[in-house]
Structure 1
Amino acid sequence: MKRIKNSIPVMNVQWVNKLKIYLYSAFVMLFLFAGSDTIYAGTTGKIAGVVTDQATGEPMPGANVYVEGYHYGAASDIDGYYFIINVPPGMYTVVTQLIGYREVRTENVLVKVDLTTKMNIALQAENIELGEEIVVIAERPLIDIDVTSTAVSISADEIKALPVDNIYQVIEHQAGVVGGHFRGGRLGEVAYMVDGIPVNDPYNNSNTVNVENESIQELEVISGTFNAEYGQAMSGIVNIITKEGRPDHIESTFSGYLGKFYTNNDDLFPNLGASEGGFSENVQMTIGGPVPFVDRLTFFLTGRLLNDDGHLYGQRIYNTTDNDPFEPSGDQSYESMNYGKYKSLHGKLTYYLSSPFKLSYNFMAGFNENNYYDHGYQRTPAGIQDHYKQNYIHSLIFNHTISANTFYTLKFSLNETQYEGYVYEDPNDPRYVIPELGLPQSGYTFRSGGNQTGRYERNAQIWLGKLDIISQVSKNHKLGLGMDYKQHVMDVWGTGLRSRTGDIEQIHDIIYPDPGTPGFEDYMRKPVELSAYVQDKMEFEDMIINLGFRFDYFDPSTPMLADIRNPVNNDLFYFDNIDAPVKTQISPRFGISFPISSQGVIHVSYGHFFQTPNFEQLYGNIYDRADGTTIFLIDKTGLNTVTGNPDLDAMRTVQYEAGLQQVIYNNLVLDFTAYYRDLRNLIDTEIIETYDQNKYARYINRDYGNVRGIILSADKRLADYWGARLDFTYQFAEGNASDPRSVFFDNQSDPPNESEKKLTRLDWDQRVTLNLSLTAGTPGDWSVGLIGRYGTGTPYTAEIRFTGVNVDFRNNRAKPVNINFDLKAEKTFEIAGTRLSAFLYIFNLLDQKNENSVYGSSGRANADLNTKFAGDIIGLNTLDEYVNNPSFYSAPRQIRLGLGFGF
């Protein structure tokens, strides 16, 4: 039996040797490209403006404008115009010098990714003592006039002020985002980028790496249309720019906290009131600055350790070897069923070889261990799986500023992730028991023993080479070109134990399916992706246009069935495979903004966005024989198999958006956006009947839907000790199915259910959402942050009471509303140059019991009307104990107290 040891590192000797070749090739390419005219987009911004004489208003050519402490600068032209490109996001001081005029230092100049910071400079003639300078504090503009779609940039300081523990909590608080769904799209339709490197896992398109808040310089969340530089996403982009060490001094922070769940609902969440239940411990640190004795080399390092007991507990009434529900042998102790252990490390080296050259090396590592609550095992918690994840990302980024107009960026990365899941590490562990053990003997009854039977191992590697070129070809045109190459290596193995004889008395007599039979998945695939784009940003006084085109190429690099009715384990006919075809796509993107005044701007955007289906949907349930033949695993005992389909087309979304931003009072901005999304070629399943009358399901492009909505927000910038943001989203998200496997599940029913043929509400369709964020305080002294969220109920499918039969159509009723508030308070002291802080977090401040899942018979989480026909309970639990499923609710109140210091 194939198995990847949990103890060995992901990067084995073979890959280390490849990495050496990869890095050597990277450095060779650096020299080959050192003299070429080439850009990079997605991680830097631009500063631009006009230098004038303060007395006459005349433009001043030849002024030297540069970013203090860095190698970014430019000279003004004959019209006094200047621009500085390739500036990482952050807060800077910009210095302007011209012979015969006083030097001007403009502080607090904020640069955002992909945006232009307008900064006009007025110089005074030098008629006083030589060398005296003028200091100007830059006013951050209330609106960004060159934004052509909905995008939010959140700075490191803004993240620090909020009661959030990770980027997902920040993202969830953005308008149009509900439970990870961006503007009504399915999960897995968002691309995550770290310093311009994509970090999604292609198996399910989830994010592979957790970037700590302390590592983030800027977080950009794009929920509207996005430029052609971004691909493999239909709903949104999360663009993370990490911090670099400062070149002039070392900075360091250290913090830790202790947390615990405190709730008034002890009957629903057992063991949280105990002295040993529901705790969390966290320590983290950062340090960054210049590397001693090495000029122009800086470093930044972040580390974190987190142990979280979770809030969902089971009680060990039964041991896994028990079977009789009335003869438990457990010790009655409580055991966490949603714990998490997490370690992360992020290191970044930045080397300014000389003024036009910059080289960065980024390393990120994460180690996760956790389990997932299973209500059926609440009385046998030792029987559920533990899950393990290791992730390593290496990236090398070379940035060359060829001239004041042009720069290019070369990126190389290796992203490697290993997943494993099992109850016991050894597949032949003698503690494993047969699947039939401890099964409930009546409805509404917990298991009385047994363990989960599945185990899986998955190793994913992504080799990336990427070239981006940007050039300010004229005052009005910033042209971007780019291309990238991805080589995937996906190694998947999965199976589940079975009883050898079916004898319930032989509890340890287990076997695993034979290789190449249903229930034993084993394959390695090496698909290839290529992409290229061109993007032009046209900036005029009364109009800004973003126009781009993107080309994508995908080679699944796998065989597929020549005849889908004749899979390999058909006994009647010889099977045959053919090569899966290559897929290509061209995507146009367009956005335009019209500044109607210095206080208002209108934008309109349109684009086609596509995404290759998840690799699980392309390759699932296949097996590679030793002779190189690929077979498709079909279970002949019934409709139990969903196979991948390598011939799936890309999923497509066409999006339209229009919006208005308007300053209505000092530091107060109103923003209105309307959008429409047309969803096509989404993944569904179809039922295939083989020539020998067996049935299986396979993925196809068939689902569709549309989303339409409006967003209204009011943003009061932090001033006079307080700031706030309130946004209101009204949205309709409809489609023919929410789950790609809906047809498969419908046909598993007896008799089969009829699948939907019309648009209904999607599972995550929240019609009204209100987000509130409120911050108050004095920088460097004290701060209070509060975020709140109100959402109307997402839909559920009602049942005809006491029958279990669905009413009419899916998602025809709404769950109760959802309300939540989180709070953070911090006090900072400075003693002998060291900053000390004490902080408090309270998540779910009001201890709200939000009902995330409900019973179809009642529409509530605590009542199942079908219990009227439950009959006798064969077990030790009551009906209410089983019906009250704690995983149906949001997490209860959690309080964290912590200390930190920094210098």
Structure 2
Amino acid sequence: MSKRLLCCLGLLVALAISTGLAEAATTGKISGRVTEATGDPLPGANVVIDIDGVKRAGITDGEGEYFIINIPPGTYDIETVMMGYTKSVRTGVVVNVDHTTTVNFEMQEESLELEEMIVVAERPPVEHDKTESKSVITAEEIESLPIIREMSDFVELQAGVTPDEEESVRGGNFWETAYMVDGVRVVNNDARAGFTRFQGVNTSAVQELTVLSGGMNAEYGNAGSVVSVVTKEGGQRYTGRGEYRITPPGQKHWGANVYEAPVHRGRMQWGNPEWENLQAWYPGPDGILGHDNQTGEMTNSQFAADDVQRKVHERQDYTGVWGGRGEAMLGGPIMRRIGFTVTSSTNRNPSAFPAPTAVSLPNNRTNFKLTYRPGNNVKFNYGSLFNQRSRYNAGVIRRIEQGSRKNMNSSGRNLFVPDEYSGAGKRRTRDFLNYASLTHTLSARTFYEIRFSYSRTSEVNTEVPFNTDQPYVEPGIGNDSGWFYVGRPVVNWTNSKRDRYQLKVDYSSQVTKGHFIKAGIDFLFYDNWGFTRNKNDFRGLIEQYYSQFNNPEVGVVPRQYAVYFQDKMEFEGIVVNVGLRGLRWSPNTEMPQSEHFIPFYRYHDPTKIEGIPTYRPQAIQVFSPRVGVSHPITESSAMHFTFGKFEQIEQFWWIFSHSYRTEEEFLDLNQNGRIDPSEINNSLDVVDAGQWGWPKIKPLVTTSFEVGADWNFITDYTAGLTAYYKQQVFRRSGGAYGIQVQGLQHN
């Protein structure tokens, strides 16, 4: 099988080198026809477009037809020039990613003494070369919707996307959606539900946003749907933008104030001085009652010197706070051929209900892009994205949520947990992406692009207290005694680091008038490590490692290789997209042999697992065919048909994780009255085989077929209707089962 794969990959690479590879879906194309007033074709005319001071041209052939490739998305003015004819200019021409914009010209002879002819272009309401379900949002459209300022909100507006925090597409999981920024993948399936994911870019940095909800070209892989962003490049003039949105005070939920909720009737005693002034003890900076932070020992008394006493029944004014979101953008030239764009945003939202803080902790995001054009045929880009967000962590399993932080859980009994308190500390997540790209136009027909990127997503918990088993409850007066929780340290935290290194090479070539060939190769290397620790009332303490089996301190390093070939065939009255993608994925790590692994083996230290034979799993290889057809019916209507198979490597957690459990966290084996470093984790058991990763899990394979129609029935109104069939088959825990989803999608 591996020999056949290598032969096929070699053939595809050979085809790519001989024909030219692909644009990586960050640019578009313009084509059209130039004629005389009589309707006869006009060979030899020059069609010129100005891209931030760099002029690109196409020359009409004997049929009067031309094309210009490798055009960044945006709005342009295009002119046609030919000796003996009046110059014709078309303004407001919109170019979209991976789309052919048709612009036709009619030229008049100069003998008629006409002035320069200027025509304002109108964006066609129906794309006649759309072979899949695709939504495109331009920078102009983003600016025209000031109420929506987050990229995720724009994604949720598109047909087929569920308007929730996960932005699932057509019933899929959030990790099935690939996010691309300037052709670089920034979200990978190397996370799990407990790890967070990429949060997007600032909207002021977006030049174009594309959502592919059904059907994808062969250049996209390891995904079930795609959200692709092309960011703005610094031009020859300075541009800037700034905004700050204020969220005024007020109640942001239905019903009464939560402190007056019926569930607390008879327990809230506002107006009773004894109840209002009731005090309780809370742990100091070390997070545990009775623990002396200076000596590191438990005191003989119930409370230590650093513990504090405060009022219990303090009502948070969660409806009386202000919130705000600010974003600023600046772009322009640094020198003649170098431009930049930088955007930054910060967000502090007021909470709709009582929370550790009435206003969220700051969430900050910065995007930067530098563009250098040493010549008309060469362009360098360097980009950087940085996101940081923080939140108060909490217990999430059964009774662990009780008293872990102020919220509405546990029947509202957490309302009097102190402000700025979390029994599991705080969690800080950072996303960082650096990428560099080279675009080289070899001729009017062919160009190639090389990209290298490095990204890291890290999570760390801070201010984590020691563990106790019971929540603190209020001393209580009368009927409310012990009803409200006033705090609780819990064990529930995660540390992780996920690094990715990617090299991507794409070529494209308009080999003939009707064939636009794309192909490319993609190498993606991972270095990922993760660790979670939680304790609950029915399984004890559980530690889960996302690491090498025989060394939990070392991350996993899987490898991924892909190659694709695609031909976009444009004929009169029909457009056909045919492609094939090959993927090879290697776990690249040692795993325990299942026939030698007995779940009830006891390992007192997970860092010293010995005696289990290991093996290196074989690589997984998948081929994915793609076919798309667009059939224009009239100038204002078109139909499309799409069929494809889309592979998706399982979440790495299900492949590489291994878990341990204990009823008692640490055992004082030497009976010296304390837990020494050598006694940490000295009572951990392997949980069970089902809690261990399985590197033989087959990829999630989605088979999708859809048929759709778009109809511009009046002026600016276009209706779209898509019927699709989607079947997913995946393997997990040794069992295989499929999910069939059938439905209609409409715009």
State if a TM-score over 0.5 links the two structures.
yes
- What is the aligned partner in structure 2 of residue 691 from structure 1? none
Kindly indicate whether residue 68 of structure 2 is the aligned counterpart of residue 47 of structure 1. Answer: no
The answer to whether the 8 Å contact 2:337/2:373 transfers is: yes
Would the aligned equivalents of 2:600 and 2:686 in 1 still touch at CA under 8 Å? no
Match of 2:499 among 456, 461, 465: 461
Q: 1:280 to 1:641 in 2, by over 3 A?
A: farther
Counterpart position of 1:403 = 443
* In 2: Cα distance, 1:244 partner to 1:538 partner: 30
Q: For the structure 1 residues 451 and 582, does the alpha-carbon distance in structure 2 shift closer, same or farther, using more than 3 Å as the test?
A: same
Partner of 1:368: 389
CA RMSD of aligned residues (A): 3.6
Does 1:608 find its partner at 2:598? no
Structure 1 residue matching 2:562: 3-state secondary structure: strand
Q: Tell me if 1:393 matches 2:424.
A: no
Is residue 512 of structure 2 the alignment partner of residue 479 of structure 1? no
Aligned with 2:561 (options 515, 530, 536): 530
Identity %: 27
Shift of 1:157: 1.7
Whether the aligned pair in 2 keeps the contact of 1:398 and 1:410 (CA below 8 Å) is yes
CA contact (8 A) 1:435 1:453 kept: no
Structure 1 residue 310: deviation in Å?
2.5
1:213 pairs with one of 197, 203, 210: 203
Contact 1:279 1:310 in 2 (8 A): no
Aligned to 1:585: 622
Alignment check: 8 A CA contact 2:48 2:79 kept: yes
Letter in 2 for 1:583: I
Q: Which of residues 168, 180, 191 in structure 2 aligns to 1:204?
A: 191
- Aligned-partner SS, 1:96: strand
Aligned 8 A contact 1:65 1:94 in 2:
yes
Is the 8 Å Cα contact of residues 41 and 229 (structure 1) preserved in structure 2? yes
CA distance 1:40–1:515, change in 2 (3 Å): closer
Deviation at 1:361?
Answer: 0.6
Q: Deviations 1:490-535 (Å, cap 9, x if unpaired)?
A: 0223335899xx9xxxxxxx999999999x9654111111000001
| Residues 578, 379 of structure 1: alpha-carbon distance in 2 compared, 3 angstrom cutoff | farther
Q: Which residue does 1:240 correspond to in 2?
A: 229
For residues 73-108 of structure 1, the C-alpha deviation after alignment (integer angstroms, 9 at most, x for no partner) is 211111111001101111111111111111111100
Counterpart pick for 2:330 among 283, 287, 294 = 287
In 2: Cα distance, 1:588 partner to 1:94 partner:
37
Q: Report 1:348-387 matches (<5 A).
A: 348-371=369-392, 374=401, 375-376=409-410, 377-380=414-417, 382=421, 383-387=423-427
Superposed, 1:851-866 pairs within 5 Å as none
> Do the aligned partners of 2:712 and 2:718 also contact (CA within 8 Å) in 1?
yes
Question: Given that residues 21 and 517 in structure 2 are in contact (C-alpha distance below 8 angstroms), is that contact kept between their aligned partners in structure 1?
Answer: no
Q: 1: distance between equivalents of 2:439 and 2:682?
A: 48
> Within 5 A, what are the aligned runs for 1:494-893?
494-496=532-534, 522-563=553-594, 566-567=597-598, 570=601, 574-621=611-658, 636=685, 642-683=691-732, 699-700=733-734, 702-713=736-747
Q: Which moved more, 1:79-88 or 1:638-647?
A: 638-647
User: Is 1:470–1:481's contact at 8 Å kept on the other side of the alignment?
Assistant: yes
Residue 707 to residue 37, structure 1, CA distance change in 2 (3 Å): closer
Work out the CA distance in 2 between the residues paired with 1:192 and 1:38: 22
Q: Distance in 1 between matches of 2:319 and 2:518?
A: 57
Q: Which amino acid aligns with 1:615?
A: F
CA contact (8 A) 1:654 1:678 kept: yes
Given the superposition, is the C-alpha separation of residues 618 and 379 from structure 1 closer, same or farther in structure 2, using an over 3 Å criterion?
Answer: farther
Cα pair distance change 1:435/1:286, threshold 3 Å: same
User: For 2:175, what is the secondary structure of its paired residue?
Assistant: coil
Question: What is the letter of the counterpart of residue 745 of structure 2?
Answer: I
Matched, 1:312 2:353: yes
Find the aligned partners of 1:85 and 1:547 in 2 and give their Cα distance. 19
Q: Secondary structure at the match of 1:525?
A: coil
Q: Go from structure 1 to structure 2 and tell me whether the alpha carbon gap of 1:531 and 1:638 turns closer, same or farther (over 3 Å shift).
A: closer
Counterpart selection for 2:256 from 262, 267, 273: 267
Q: In structure 2, what is the Cα distance between the partners aligned to 1:89 and 1:207?
A: 27
Q: How many residues end up aligned between the 2 structures?
A: 616
Q: Which residue of 2 aligns with 1:689?
A: none
Partner of 2:405: none
Deviations 1:153-188 (A, max 9, x none): 011121222321211111112122223221111231
1:434 is aligned to: 468
Structure 1 residue 127, shift from structure 2 partner? 2.3
Matched residue type, 2:597: N
Structure 1 CA distance for aligned equivalents of residues 547 and 188 of structure 2: 26
Matched, 1:413 2:401: no
In structure 1, what residue type is equivalent to 2:621?
A: T
Give the deviation of 1:665 after TM superposition: 2.5
The change in CA–CA distance for 1:479 and 1:634 in structure 2 (over 3 A counts) is: farther
Distance in 2, matches of 1:139 and 1:658, equals 27
Distance 1:400 1:156, change over 3 A: same
Aligned counterparts of 1:517 and 1:527: Cα–Cα separation in 2? 11
Q: Is the 8 A contact 2:531 2:546 kept in 1?
A: no
Residues 203-236 of structure 1 show CA distances to partners (whole Å, capped at 9, x for unaligned) of 32764252011010110001011111001112x1
8 A Cα contact 1:278 1:308, kept in partner: no
How far is 1:71 from its partner?
A: 3.2
Residue among 58, 65, 76 paired with 2:40? 58
User: CA deviation digits over 1:555-610, x for unaligned, max 9?
Assistant: 11122221256248615994211112211100000010111122221111100011
3-state SS of paired residue (2:214): coil
Residue 459 and residue 150 in structure 1: after superposition, are their counterparts in 2 closer, same or farther (change >3 A)?
A: same
Please tell me whether residue 339 in structure 1 is matched to residue 339 in structure 2: no
Find the partner of 2:127 among 144, 147, 170: 144
2:99 counterpart of 1:109: no
Which residue of structure 1 lines up, in the alignment, with residue 675 of structure 2?
A: none
- Using the TM superposition, give the Cα deviation of residue 639 of structure 1 relative to its aligned residue in structure 2, in angstroms: 6.5
Question: Separation in 1 of the partners of 2:439 and 2:613?
Answer: 49
With structure 1 as the length reference, what TM-score do the two structures score? 0.63
CA distance in 1, matches of 2:87, 2:556: 61
Cα drift, residue 276 of structure 1: 7.4
Secondary structure of residue in 1 paired with 2:555? strand
C-alpha displacement of 1:304? 1.3
Q: Distance in 1 between matches of 2:547 and 2:171?
A: 39
Q: Distance in 2 between matches of 1:669 and 1:343?
A: 37
Shift, 1:246, TM fit: 1.7
CA distance in 1, matches of 2:704, 2:742: 10
What corresponds to 2:239 in structure 1?
Answer: 251
Letter paired with 1:221:
V
Provide TM-score, normalisation by structure 2. 0.76
For residues 633 and 188 of structure 1, what CA distance do their matches in structure 2 show? 36
Q: 5+ unaligned residues in a row in structure 2: which ranges?
A: 1-15, 260-313, 395-400, 402-408, 604-609, 661-680
Would the alpha carbon gap of residues 414 and 380 (structure 1) be closer, same or farther in structure 2, given more than 3 Å must change? same
Q: Is the 8 A contact 2:369 2:382 kept in 1?
A: yes
Q: Does 1:226 align with 2:216?
A: yes
- The residue number in structure 1 matching 2:151 is 167
> What displacement does 1:404 show?
0.6
Distance change in 2, residues 1:637/1:189 (3 Å): closer
> Cα distance 1:512–1:186, how it changes in 2: closer, same or farther (>3 A)?
closer
Q: Distance in 2 between matches of 1:635 and 1:102?
A: 84
1: CA distance, partners of 2:142 / 2:346: 20
Q: CA separation in 2, counterparts of 1:517 and 1:557?
A: 10
Work out whether residues 497 and 513 of structure 1, in 8 Å CA contact, stay in contact via their aligned partners in 2: no
* Alignment partners' CA distance in 1, 2:358 and 2:611: 47
